[in-house]
Amino acid sequence: MRKRTLPALILLLGGVVWPGIGAARDASAGVPPNAHVKRYGDGWQCDRGFRQVDATCVAVEVPPHAYLADSPYGPGWECERGYRQIQDACEPVDVPPNAFLDFRGRTWECDRGYRKGDGRCIAIEVPTNAYLDTGESWKCDRGYRRSKESCLAIEIPDHAYLAPSGQDWDCNRGYVRSGESCIAVAVPAHGYLASSGRDWQCDRGYRKSGGSCVSLEIPANAHIGPSGNDWVCGSGYRRQGERCTPSHD
């Protein structure tokens, strides 16, 4: 029984394996030299170091100071760090004094304290009372302000102080800026200095009228509102001009 079963099993396995082998042969039949069947999908692709030209794979000619690139686009190679592509060759990047190669290695940047100009790095001239900024420029020290290419001391008037920026001044609380000086905030009777310190507000029961605080004229069926500087009608009444009328009118 076993002798009869074994040949049948061999024939059965052959029927499964041989079609797969035939399919593989069919897939590779149209593949040109230096190419291989795509792992996924249909068709073929060139081996590494070759690129497709029509229906063939042509060797990539890598110039000196270059290496093969995996990208299917471009010439198939890229220049080494410190070189850049000029037509079909890699030419060295000419780094001037006081400069360095950028992170890609294809061009250069100036050292700190220098800026690009005419294909070279020019020293940044930092004036007195200034310091080199993070960029290609400079800033004045605290207490100085820029005037063209120099730093001038900030003249702080009476009742003022140097602003947090260090490049200007602000008035003390209770004063406001007027040109290059600080003048006192004129707080009228029945008024007080606002929290900002730059303006004033009226006491409760008063309202602003020009530069003064005038008493509120509260009509019948009304009372001082939450702000303290205006009035609102009582329950069952609505405001109509300067009086309160019943809501059902």
pLDDT digits (tens, 9 = 90+) for 222-242: 999 999 999 999 999 999 999
Residue 235 belongs to a domain? yes
The whole-number pLDDT of residue 9 equals: 47
Residue 230 belongs to a domain? yes
pLDDT exceeds 50 at position 207: yes
Averaged pLDDT, 85-107:
94
Residue 155 belongs to a domain? no
What would the DSSP string read from start to end of 124-141?
----TTEEE-SSSSEEEP
Residue 159 belongs to a domain? no
The whole-number pLDDT of residue 97 equals: 97
Q: What is the pLDDT of residues 68-92, one digit of tens each?
A: 987 767 788 999 999 999 999 999 9
The whole-number pLDDT of residue 45 equals: 85
The whole-number pLDDT of residue 22 equals: 47
Residue 229 belongs to a domain? yes
Averaged pLDDT, 130-152:
92
Residue 242 belongs to a domain? yes
pLDDT exceeds 50 at position 217: yes
Which residue would you say has higher pLDDT here, 7 or 57? 57
Residue 234 belongs to a domain? yes
The whole-number pLDDT of residue 71 equals: 74
Averaged pLDDT, 95-119:
94
Domain total for the chain?
A: 1
pLDDT, mean over the chain: 88
Residue 125 belongs to a domain? no
pLDDT exceeds 50 at position 20: no
What would the DSSP string read from start to end of the chain?
-HHHHHHHHHHHHHHHHHHHHHHHHHHHTTPPTTEEE-SSSSSEEEPTTEEEETTEEEE--PPTTEEE---SSTTSEEEPTTEEEETTEEEEP-PPTTEEE-TTSSSEEEPTTEEEETTEEEE----TTEEE-SSSSEEEPTTEEEETTEEEE----TTEEE-TTSSSEEEPTTEEEETTEEEE----TTEEE-TTSSSEEEPTTEEEETTEEEE----TTEEE-TTSSSEEE-TTEEEETTEEEETT-
Q: Which domain holds residue 238?
A: 216-249
